[in-house]
Amino acid sequence: MRVIAWKTLRVFSDRHRAARAPLRAWYTLTRHAVWKTPADVRKTFNTADFVGTRAVFDIKGNQYRLIAEIDYQRELVFIIWVGNHADYDKVNVRTVQYDPRR
């Protein structure tokens, strides 16, 4: 899968050092995956939840959450949002928008 964009994860992990290694692991697994359906995603990340075409990933034992839009046909994973679990409780997975400053 092609992940857009590693920079989003890097910026977040610069502010949250504990998330760096788990986000890098997520990125590496995702980049090498071939997903055609949500079931394929669950084979890689069994705790992934789905809301429409968006997937919610637990990072570092659920301390952090990552929301991504997945285009299976184009083999594209677009990172929409990443944050800690408390901040995740404040967003709507269906409507949250990508914020490059985050």
**Mean pLDDT, rounded, of the chain:** 93
Higher pLDDT, 44 or 6: 44
Residue 13: closest CA among 31, 30, 27, 29: 27
CB 2 within 8 A of CB 35: no
| β-bridge partners, 83 | 65
Kindly list the strands in the beta sheet with 49-51, ordered across the sheet, starting from the edge strand earlier in the chain. Answer: 2-4, 76-84, 64-71, 54-59, 49-51
pLDDT of residue 21: 97
Residue 41: closest CA among 21, 57, 61: 57
**2-34 confidence digits (pLDDT tens):** 999 888 999 999 999 999 999 999 999 999 999
**Domains of the chain and CATH, by start:** 2-88 (3.30.2310)
Q: Is 18 helix (H, G, I), strand (E, B) or coil?
A: helix
Residue 100: is its pLDDT beyond 70? no
